[in-house]
A = this chain, B = another copy of it.
Amino acid sequence: MKKKTIDHTDLLVLTLLSGEDMYGYQIITELSRRSDHTFDMKEGTLYPVLHGLWKSGAVECYEAEAPTGRKRKYYHLTRKGRDALKVEQEEWRTYARGVEAVLSTAPALG
């Protein structure tokens, strides 16, 4: 049984944060929604990613209270994070182009 992982987690998270500040739980639900339920990122995946992005300076973090009274940790994309996102997007396009190029050289499947 082949394992299916999400990969490109940084790209996806940075992309979401480029639109607006978000908190962890929201990132998971938004990612699922915007990908038409293709991506179901696990908390065990997301939080380490978020902490890594913070450590590298790609995001800043602040706490805020939800209308419900709950604490949330919002993440904000920094200038550095925006630059990183550009790089990641370019890498993704190159990668996807490469795969499509290889697929296009093969005969159609019966």
Contact = CB atoms under 8 A, between A and B. Distances in A.
A97 interface: yes
Contacts of A109: 18, 82, 85-86, 89
Main secondary structure of the interface of A (DSSP, over half): helix
Interface of A: 2, 4, 7-8, 10-12, 15-16, 18-19, 31, 34-36, 38-39, 82, 85-86, 89, 91-92, 94-99, 101-103, 105-107, 109-110
Shortest beta-carbon contacts, A-B, top 3:
A38-B98, A35-B98, A15-B106
Nearest to A100: B96
Given A4-B91, A19-B105, A38 B97 contact: yes
Contacts of A92: 99, 103
Nearest to A83: B109
Contacts of A101: 34-36, 38
A109 B15 CA distance: 10
A92 B31 CA distance: 18
